[in-house]
Amino acid sequence: RLDHMVHPVAELLDILMSLVLSYMKDVCYVDGKVDNNKTKDLYRDLINIFDKLLLPTHASCHVQFFMFYLCSFKLVSILEHLWKKLQDPSNPAIIRQAAGNYIGSFLARAKFIPLITVKSCLDLLVNWLHIYLNNQDSGTKAFCDVALHGPFYSACQAVFYTFVFRHKQLLSGNLKEGLRYLQSLNFERIVMSQLNPLKVCLPSVVNFFAAITNKYQLVFCYTIIERNNRQMLPVIRSTAGGDSVQTCTNPLDTFFPFDPCVLKRSKQFIDPIYQIWEGMSAEELQEFKKPMKKEIVEDEDDDFLKGEVPQNDTVIGITPSSFDAHFRSPSSSVGSPPMLYMQPSPL
């Protein structure tokens, strides 16, 4: 049947998840309206489960969507809770990094989050990053090291990932105002810092961030990316099949908890509130390689920003060259859009 999962474990998970989501709706809605007290009571119970079981579990698959769904009722939000986890130095680094993963994925994927909330969260994250850099400037640990600065890199990736997904909304309406806001975030200082976040964050996220910021002349990342690529040392891994040479492209061990839900019953609850990856046409890809012309900014108009959101994930494949074989959609987990490749235009 069309609504069944082929794999028996996936089928069982789908049935259980859909039961939980149905229960949540039954509890929180009374006579077609959200009941404030019942929703907040349920949130308090579930956030404890989330903290104990889900946040410490690396690459948990699908189960975390119960929090995504509950937050769509709009009376509760997991963002403040996760933000406290991320910025608290008394939490283990692995928990802080996981909180960063959740923040980025939630801001990017939750269709129900208003733009003003997205901007408020970006402001918080970016301000924290700048304060972190202030504290490192004169220190002896101001160099690229995941073990020392894991939460910083996780917060950087949350910012880059959110920006990639939300840049059209951030620049919609008054383009000049949008650009002024993005310039105020001072991405350049973060990217050019000695901590070198572009070396640590996922290549897929970095390359999309580089392309979009290059188009709008916010920061030029390609020089740093090329330097980082030259410094990327291969790692020899021994397996039963013999030795293989690999490069570590995910030193943060990143995952995006709200990558597309593929459980057929459960996704019927999630799809209406879920932001898919829009993809890019070949023409848009070429345009991203060119910085935006000054007169376009002055006219406060940009055809690229007027594109309709497609109903399905766009499938685009462009043959990679030696410049970067790791360019994909911003998410690299199962269910995300397939590989996409981009390189800067020749100087």
Residue 266: pLDDT over 90: yes
Residue 291: pLDDT over 60: yes
Residue 135: pLDDT over 60: yes
3-state secondary structure of 121: helix
3-state secondary structure of 92: coil
Residue 262: pLDDT over 70: yes
- Return the higher-pLDDT residue of 315 and 157: 157
Tell me what pLDDT residue 251 has.
82
pLDDT, mean of residues 111-118:
95
Name the residue among 269, 267, 259 with its Cα closest to residue 2: 267
Please state, rounded to an integer, the average pLDDT across all residues of the chain: 82
Residue 304: pLDDT over 50: no
- Return the higher-pLDDT residue of 218 and 138: 218
What is the distance between the alpha carbons of residues 174 and 222, in angstroms, rounded to a whole number?
A: 28
Per-position DSSP letters for 266-328, written without gaps between them = THHHHGGGB-------HHHHHHHTSPPPHHHHHHT--GGGGPPPPSS---------TT-TT--
Residue 314: pLDDT over 50: no
pLDDT digits (tens, 9 = 90+) for 58-79: 999 899 999 999 999 977 789 9
**Cβ burial 292-316 (10 Å sphere, 16+ → b, else e):** beeeeeeeeebebeeeeeeeebeeb
pLDDT, mean of residues 209-216:
95
Tell me what pLDDT residue 246 has.
57
- Return the higher-pLDDT residue of 333 and 1: 1
Tell me what pLDDT residue 282 has.
57
Report residue 278 as tokens. 């829009």
Report residue 179 as tokens. 């650009």
Tell me what pLDDT residue 177 has.
96
Burial environment of residue 116 by CB neighbours within 10 A (0 to 12, 13 to 18, 19 or more): exposed
Residue 253: pLDDT over 90: no
Residue type, 157: Q
Note every long-range contact of 125-128, with CB atoms under 8 Å and residues 24 or more positions apart, other chains counting.
Answer: 125/155, 125/158, 125/159, 126/159, 126/185, 126/186, 126/190, 128/87, 128/155
Q: Strand pairing partners for 263?
A: none
What is the distance between the alpha carbons of residues 191 and 183, in angstroms, rounded to a whole number?
A: 13
Contact criterion met (CB below 8 Å) for 210 and 218:
no
Tell me what pLDDT residue 316 has.
27
Could you tell me where the DSSP H helices lie in the chain?
A: 8-28, 36-49, 65-71, 79-87, 93-109, 115-136, 146-171, 175-184, 187-192, 197-200, 203-215, 222-231, 267-270, 282-288, 294-299
At 283, the pLDDT band (50, 70, 90 cuts) reads low
Tell me what pLDDT residue 273 has.
97
What is the distance between the alpha carbons of residues 35 and 41, in angstroms, rounded to a whole number?
A: 10
Residue 322: pLDDT over 90: no
Q: Cβ neighbours of residue 120 under 8 Å, at least 6 residues apart?
A: none
At 300, the pLDDT band (50, 70, 90 cuts) reads very low
What is the distance between the alpha carbons of residues 288 and 305, in angstroms, rounded to a whole number?
A: 12
Residue 318: pLDDT over 50: no
pLDDT, mean of residues 169-193:
96
pLDDT digits (tens, 9 = 90+) for 7-24: 999 999 999 999 999 999
pLDDT, mean of residues 243-268:
84
Q: What is the pTM of this model?
A: 0.82
pLDDT, mean of residues 159-165:
97
Tell me what pLDDT residue 3 has.
79
Residue 113: pLDDT over 80: yes
Name the residue among 233, 226, 192 with its Cα closest to residue 324: 226
- Return the higher-pLDDT residue of 167 and 136: 167
